[in-house]
Chains A and B, each alone.
Chain A
């Protein structure tokens, strides 16, 4: 009975500082993935089973994240697996955010999944693995762990971006995403290696301790490492000038995929950036904060200006996501003080972007890449619900008061003002007003122009649920943001 008592197991586990709750979301999703694939390949139960397995996996992962939030936020934060995984309010909130977003994205993509035939199971599995990787990016407290999580996340997304074989531009999008993503990963990894060479550790808290206490014998290598880390993460969150892949990938990827790609890359990328910058490199804030400020300013200006000229909804949203990356980075110039504001913006933007691309997937087709704006003319007469949802998301992204977008912009601007970045806030305000132009243009197009096509647009059930949830969240967080803001005050790295 030596196997059942497992005392040796627990002893060794104690030395390794094992805590299964800290990786419970990943474990649950992995088990769900294995069951989904094995049962599918053996008995071929079809897409209903995929839906059940994905729902169970995401529900379990959300429950585990909530348990982490209850047990490990604030003072109870801890590191497990020899400092590889941090379980704190930060990683718990990331889970509470990422898994519902992934589930929502999967619901809007369901018509695409069903059209893929037998390959649909692999699509569902890749979304689940990417979500697990994204959460692991927020929970990693060692830079090598962070790199592995980043690759688990990115590699799944490369495949998802080119998942339809029906269109030539999908594999064009996948190849561009892959080549530039691989370049970004290599740059990020070289940053890790240089930080390791300068400090002798890859542990995030270890780096913080080292930089706080000891005299650096190689400041140049550390600075180069920080610069490369920032560039690598800038690629992933599509901040300018590292955004060149975003428009092509957003436009070329199947409509059902783009929402997940846009939302999860922002959540995971900014979670990783916040932990690396405000925990590991906190002692060096005067080195990286100005660089972040400049990247934020460039992103806001470039994203806003280029979005104005677009004639394709998905391409416009891609440039708008570059601008939003800039707004979110604005919160980080203040260091750890801006993390809660960053979370508010990231969370509300993720909901908006999933819903906006969800509408694009319904109107332009889940397999289709391009979504010409002409398709949306007079949408209010063809499908009032879709027009209302997309219009609300456009207003929220533009930052109209009483939507979550307004509160988010106010939050990140106040964080930047606290850090004395007045020039950045002024620039961002001007750009936000200019940005209203292209968001409102979509609303005008939908409500004030005659419809070109005729007949109503049927909305699948999954997309309908997602749009209602997103609209409710966007309005609620815009009208009564205080509970969420207070809550996010505890979603900080431990």
Chain B
């Protein structure tokens, strides 16, 4: 059995779903945040696999941009989580229920 790019895309789909369910099910902001990173990296895997299969370079180039954007998002996201943590001494999103209507 040879491992074709299609397998990688299937793996990426599984990783993406794991990440998405992590966001919906977990209650710790940091873990939710890790799930977002997992989703982004699943997309990266899709890009590389599709680029390999179609024999075009665009897939790999896209990954470079996604990596940089993800890093910028990490920094801002962690800054917000640290700000919340400092004020409330918890990173659980269940505690964040001050805004209701």
A179 engages B29 (CB within 8 Å): yes
Q: Do A155 and B72 have beta carbons less than 8 Å apart?
A: yes
Extra contacts, 17 of them, besides A176-B96, A201-B56, A202-B62 (Cβ < 8 A), are: A144-B58, A144-B61, A155-B76, A159-B76, A168-B88, A169-B98, A169-B99, A172-B99, A179-B33, A182-B36, A182-B77, A186-B16, A186-B20, A190-B46, A197-B46, A202-B58, A247-B101
List A199-224 residues whose CB lies under 8 Å from chain B: 200-202
Smallest CB–CB gap between B45 and chain A, Å?
9
From A91-99, A309-317, A349-357, the one touching the partner chain is A309-317
A189 surroundings in chain B (CB, below 8 A): 40, 43, 66
Residues of B within 8 A of A144 (CB): 58, 61-62, 65
Q: Once the chains bind, are B50 and A148 in contact (CB under 8 Å)?
A: no
Among A179, A185, A310, the residue within 8 A (CB) of B101 is: A310
What is the minimal beta-carbon distance from B75 to any residue of chain A, in angstroms? Answer: 9
In the complex, the chain A residue whose C-beta lies closest to that of B74 is: A182
Q: Say whether A178 faces chain B, with CB atoms less than 8 Å apart.
A: yes
Ordered nearest first, which 3 A-B pairs have the shortest CB separation? A197-B50, A186-B39, A193-B46
* Interface residue? A34 (CB, 8 A): no
CB-CB under 8 A from B58, the residues of chain A are 144, 196, 201-202
Would you call B20 and A183 a contact (CB within 8 A)? yes
Chain A interface residue bracket vs B: 35 or more
Picked from B43, B77, B83, the residue with its CB within 8 Å of the CB of A186 is: B43
**Is B23 among interface residues, defined by CB-CB distance under 8 A?**
yes
A378 proximity list for chain B (CB < 8 A): none
Q: Is A122 an interface residue (CB 8 A)?
A: no
* Cβ contacts B1-33/A at 8 Å (1 or 0 each): 000000001000000100110010000010011
Cross-chain contact B36 with A179 (CB below 8 angstroms): yes
Q: Which residue of A lies closest to B12 (CB)?
A: A193
Rounded to whole Å, the gap between the CB of A225 and the closest CB of chain B is 10
| Interface residues in A332-359 (C-beta closer than 8 Å to B) | none
> Which parts of A165-201 form the interface with B (CB within 8 Å)?
165, 168-169, 171-176, 178-179, 182-183, 185-187, 189-190, 192-194, 196-197, 200-201
Does A158 belong to the interface (CB within 8 Å)?
Answer: yes
Residues of B within 8 A of A369 (CB): 99
Nearest chain A CB to B4 CB, angstrom units: 13
The minimal Cβ–Cβ distance linking B13 to chain A, given in whole angstroms, is 9
**Is A251 at the interface (CB under 8 A from chain B)?**
yes
Question: Which of B46, B51, B54, B69 is the one whose CB lies under 8 Å from A148?
Answer: B69
**Complex contacts, B83 vs chain A, CB 8 Å:** 162, 165, 171, 174
Report the bound CA distance from A172 to B84 in whole Å. Answer: 7
Question: Which residue numbers of B lie inside 8 Å of A, CB to CB?
Answer: 9, 16, 19-20, 23, 29, 32-33, 36, 39-40, 42-43, 46-47, 49-51, 53-54, 56, 58-59, 61-62, 65-66, 69, 72-73, 76-77, 79-81, 83-84, 87-88, 93, 96, 98-99, 101
Q: Is A366 an interface residue (CB 8 A)?
A: no
Cβ of A147 within 8 Å of any chain B Cβ, yes or no, is yes
B36 smallest CB distance to A (angstroms): 4
Residues of chain A within 8 A of B66, CB atoms compared: 147, 189
Residues of B within 8 A of A202 (CB): 58, 62
B54 proximity list for chain A (CB < 8 A): 197, 200
Q: Give the distance in Å from the alpha carbon of A183 to the alpha carbon of B19 in the complex.
A: 9
Set of chain A residues within 8 Å of B88, measured between Cβ atoms = 168
Q: How far is the CA of A316 from the CA of B38 in the complex (A)?
A: 35
Shortest beta-carbon distance from B67 to chain A in Å: 12
Shortest A83–chain B CB gap in Å is 11
Q: Which residues of A contact B51 (CB under 8 A)?
A: 196
Residues of chain A contacted by B16 (CB below 8 angstroms) = 186, 190
**Roughly how many angstroms separate A311 CA and B58 CA in the complex, as a whole number?**
50
B contact residues around A490 at 8 Å (CB): none
What's the minimum C-beta distance from A153 to chain B, rounded to whole angstroms?
12
Q: Kindly state the separation between the CA atoms of A309 and B101 in the bound complex, as whole angstroms.
A: 8
- A311 contacts which of B9, B43, B101 (Cβ < 8 Å)? B101
Most chain B beta-carbon contacts within 10 A, residue among A176, A183, A189: A189
In the complex, chain B residues whose CB is within 8 Å of the CB of A312: 101
How far, in whole Å, are A206 and B41 apart by their CA atoms in the complex? 25
Residues of A near B49 (CB, < 8 A) are 197
What's the Cα separation between A171 and B66 when bound, in Å? 26
Q: Provide the bound-state CA to CA distance between A179 and B78, in Å.
A: 11
Residues on B with C-beta less than 8 A from A248 are 99
Q: How far is the CB of A176 from chain B (nearest CB, A)?
A: 7
Contacting residues, chain B, for A185 (C-beta < 8 A): 73
Inter-chain CA distance A140–B59, complex, in Å, is 18
- Min CB distance A421 to B, Å, is 31
Closest B residue, CB atoms, query A158: B76
Inter-subunit contact A200/B56 (CB<8 Å): yes
Residues of A within 8 A of B80 (CB): 158-159, 162, 171, 174-175, 178
Set B47, B76, B99: member contacting A196, Cβ < 8 A = B47
